[in-house]
Amino acid sequence: MAGLEGRDDGYSVWADELLEHLRPTGRDLGRVVDWLARTVDGTVCLRGQDGTLLAGRPVPVDETLTAEVAAGRIASAALEEGGHHQRLVRVVRTGPEPDAVLAVCRTAPFDRRAADVVTHTASVVELLLGAGERLQAARRFDRAAADLRLAILQLLMVEDIVAARRVAAGLWPGLLDTDTACVYVAETTPGDRDRLVGDCLDVTGERALVVRCPAVDSHVIVVVPGEADGARLRDLAGRRRDTFLGGSARHGLARTALAYGQAVSALAVARFRPGRAAVYAERTRPERLMDPGALHTWTTRLLSPLDGLAHHTRADLLATTRLGLEFTAVSTAKLLGVSRNTVRARMERVEGLLGTDFSDLAVRAAVHLGLTVQAGLAEAPRADAAALPDPFAGLLAGPALRAWAQELLGRLEGDGRDLRRTVRAWLAAGGNAERAAQHLGVHAQTVRDHVRAAEPVMERQLLAAGGDLYEVVLAHLAVGDLAPPALPAA
């Protein structure tokens, strides 16, 4: 400390002790105040301008004089009253909070050593307060930035691109100056997620939207406009232990909800990959094996009851239903920033408009297919409105789709437990293990074990509702192993 060089009268001892409190492992305001009380053999308190005790034990002080010191009209004061000696030292704060006062009271007069200890301790307290306030300010900024990133994602999920760009422009200019992007979902342990967020921010800079998933504590969602940053994320997943990464195909920003579902689906595949990363486009999708014109015509007819709605209402209903068919109502609500009752109400409205029953697994798979195709209709020529739509069964009858379905389900036949029979019964029971077990004459846990065993074989996640499950349902429909859904448009 300045002014102490060359002194050998005990000053270096307390100075060294005081400096220890500035080490990263020793920065504790309460410990510093307690140390000061022991060192000068007195009572010490750090109080705010309004008298709030910030650290230490209460010290009776002259309020008028203390207010003068706190206001900066005098830097320090010393007084003796009733056999007690006091020192009041102003502690300057760099943040928005008013300055504080370090009050020291002892029975003996303040000699030079004690006075120096108090003065230098006040400087250390200033440093610690400033560091703490800067840390709190940084944390507040980080929380605010995280909240803004989540708000931007939620706006993208409901196709409000203009509002999303306005929110992003303030802190991240140019972030959404793009027409298309990929969505990645990274998974780690919940306790490691904050570090994963930091790693994702480091490798992408401010070129990507990095969001803590509000629905799954172990997930980080990243909206990536550039191809290079996607490659950096895949490299990151390969370097980190216990981290998996799923990525979507490239979509327009208005299709962020669709891209998110694709990323979650790819994440399920990544768990079985040596590199712990997978991209949705790597897999053949059933809709790509259907006749495009017939598929678009059927989709347009299926969703036509929503065409008369206002644009924002239609977008909200479609985005909510698409996510609601992929995830639980609670997760969907967290992703969209609405209540689960709102999610249920929107899905019930769509159910009524379409004349469908979402409790039927085959119906859910068919509507999910329509919503997936609808997400790409803006980028594809509209089907001829005068053309007669092919029935849904006709969409599944093509040789390419049937070959795909037979190959996918055929993977289950090499297992001696007859996994294919169990999965078929489980799907026919609407994904209910108890009802499937009654039909098969086995225990419900056996059904669950068989379904879980089928997941890595087919590289699809079945026990969690979503795109993977609906693909397997479509495969069973294509080969005739499940009854076709009751759809007005079919």
| pLDDT tens string 359-413 | 899 999 999 999 988 876 544 444 443 444 447 888 898 899 999 999 999 999 8
pLDDT at 11: 56
* Position 78 pLDDT exceeds 60: yes
Helix (H) or strand (E) holding 104: strand 100-106
Question: What average pLDDT does this structure show over 129-158?
Answer: 80
Confidence tier at 25 by pLDDT (50, 70, 90): low
pLDDT 10s digits, 418-451: 899 999 999 999 999 999 999 999 999 999 999 9
pLDDT tier for residue 292 given thresholds of 50, 70 and 90: confident
Token representation of residue 299: 């989709």
Query: For position 226, what pLDDT does the model report?
Result: 82
Residue 230, phi then psi, degrees to nearest 5: -65, -40
Residue with the bigger pLDDT between 144 and 191: it is 191
Burial of 445 (0-12, 13-18, 19+ CB in 10 A): exposed
Comparing 145 with 420, the larger pLDDT belongs to 420
Strand positions, DSSP E, 162-300: 180-187, 209-212, 219-224, 244-247, 251-252, 277-279
Q: What is the pLDDT, as a whole number, of residue 380?
A: 44
For residues 45-70, give the mean pLDDT: 83
The amino acid present at 58, given as its one-letter code, is P
Q: How confident is the model at residue 138 (pLDDT cuts 50, 70, 90)?
A: low
pLDDT band at 3 (very low <50, low <70, confident <90, very high): very low
> How far, in Å, CA of 181 to CA of 179, rounded?
7
pTM for this entry:
0.67
Over range 229-249, report the average pLDDT: 89
> Is pLDDT of 474 > 80?
yes
- The reported pLDDT for the residue numbered 326 is 87
Rounded percentage of the chain residues whose pLDDT exceeds 70: 91
Strand partners, 277: 245
Beta strand spans in 240-315 (E): 244-247, 251-252, 277-279
Mean pLDDT of 37-60: 85
At residue 273, the pLDDT reads 80
pLDDT given at position 7: 45
Separation CA 297–CA 32 (nearest Å): 75
Q: What is the pLDDT of residues 205-236, one digit of tens each?
A: 878 999 999 989 999 999 998 888 888 998 89
Per-position b or e across 76-86, b if 16+ CB within 10 A of its CB: ebeeeeeeebb
pLDDT at position 10 is 53
Would you state the pLDDT for residue 390?
Answer: 45
Q: Report the percentage of the chain scoring pLDDT > 90.
A: 32
What Cα–Cα distance (Å) separates residue 405 from each residue in 402, 481, 487?
Answer: 5, 11, 21
